[in-house]
A and B are shown apart, each in its own frame.
Chain A
Amino acid sequence: MSIEFEPQITAFTCRYCGSVPADMAGAGHLLYPANIKMVTLPCTGRLDAQYLLAAFEQGADGVCVFACGPDNCHHLTGSQRAARRTVYVKDLLRQIGLQPERLEIFHLGIGQAQDFARIVEEMTARIRELGPNPLR
């Protein structure tokens, strides 16, 4: 491919530990790749397996979920539910013929702006390596 492929990554985040680190990274002028598109949910407990699949079907090269820590969810068990659903969809991806590594969940605390930036960097590199979504 002559033009370097720019991964398109959809990120599902909750309003708390999911999106606050992102905001703070921005406010702190931390550089991170512009490859992610954020979709904010009230809580990642609201994350439906269908959303993850739809993202891939619509052409996302990668999907991230940013959630509160498993024992630190603002709504108590939402991030744990999101984690289980993510595991389920990773297996579906494998059955479909897409690499399960295209989907990942990350648990953050509100103050982890640096980690957020680093994760986006790493995820973008991972997806760049995996190549574009073959469905596109």
Chain B
Amino acid sequence: MIIGKQKPIEEIKPMMASAQRVLVLGCGTCVAVCMAGGEKEAAMLASALRMSVKLDGRSTEIRDYTVQRQCEFEYNESAAELVEWADLIVSIACGIGVQTMNEQFPARQTVPGLNTTFLGRPMEQGVWAERCLACGNCVLHLTGGICPISRCAKNILNGPCGGSQRGKCEINSEIDCAWQLIYDRLTTLGMQDLLLEIQPPKDWSTSRDGGPRKIVREDLKL
């Protein structure tokens, strides 16, 4: 899922500098699950911002609200009245939610209170790790289920590189070497031969490199 992390208050405050009425808008889906932008976090951020601006001697009104999922117009409708009331919306949804709000309510600016960081999964409560880069062409069947694009710092397809040491990546000893993991897994699965095949250069055009992407399913259109 999408993982994000709230921006520090000192980064959010300048965005609100000229607003009198601010709506902090949370999202109940991915960012709620990674405890960065859900209902609770929206309430806490609103409270923190109220206190902070008060200490600054300003009198900005700050309210918070959370929609089920901020990337869909249907769900954001429930916030319409508050959006109308506000001068500015600080969204702590992922960047998609922020953009959706700007597209849906163009008369109001929605600014990001959160940094969308990566696609990943929870390892344990409070710990999330990256697992996917949305490259558009999944090769997990060739690597024992470990992604070389998102988990290898050099997105190597014929790894490991010479910097793999004791199962860790050369750039940070806390990062597992993806290719050590792939080697171990393929060995366990009895598929080590896959490692001897030369994987050809990746077609990056299905990824960001090919330009902004879109999927159209004619069969599902109404």
A–B in direct contact per CB < 8 Å: yes
Q: Please report A residues at the B interface, Cβ cutoff 8 Å.
A: 49, 77, 81, 84-85, 87-89
Question: Considering only CB atoms, which chain B residue lies closest to A92 in the complex?
Answer: B219
14 A-B Cβ contacts within 8 A?
A49-B219, A77-B222, A81-B222, A84-B218, A84-B219, A84-B220, A84-B221, A85-B219, A87-B218, A87-B219, A88-B217, A88-B218, A88-B219, A89-B219
Output the residue of B217, B218, B219 with the most chain A CB within 10 A.
B219
Which chain A residue shows the least CB distance to B221?
A84
Nearest-neighbour CB distance to chain A for B36, whole angstroms, equals: 37
In angstroms, how far is the closest chain A Cβ from the Cβ of B125?
39
Contacts of B218 in A (CB 8 A): 84, 87-88
Secondary structure call for the A interface: helix
Q: Which residues of B contact A49 (CB under 8 A)?
A: 219
The 7 closest A-B CB pairs, nearest first, are A88-B219, A84-B219, A85-B219, A84-B218, A84-B221, A87-B218, A49-B219
B-side interface size class: under 10
A85 to B221, CA, bound (A): 9
Mark contacts of B178-222 with chain A using CB atoms, 8 A cut-off: 1 yes-contact digit, 0 otherwise.
000000000000000000000000000000000000000111111
Task: Give B181 Cβ to nearest chain A Cβ, in Å.
Answer: 32
Residues from chain A with Cβ under 8 Å of B219 in the complex: 49, 84-85, 87-89
How far, in angstroms, from A77 to B222 measured CA to CA in the complex?
A: 8
Measured in the bound complex, the distance between the Cα atoms of B221 and A87 in whole Å is 12
Chain B residues, Cβ within 8 Å of A88: 217-219
Question: Whole-angstrom distance from the CB of A126 to the nearest CB of chain B?
Answer: 23
When distances are taken between beta carbons in the complex, the residues of chain B under 8 Å from A84 are 218-221
Q: Give the residues in chain A near B220, CB-CB below 8 Å.
A: 84
The smallest beta-carbon distance between A80 and chain B, in angstroms, is: 9
Report how far A94 CA is from B217 CA in the complex, Å.
17
B217 to A: closest C-beta gap in Å: 8
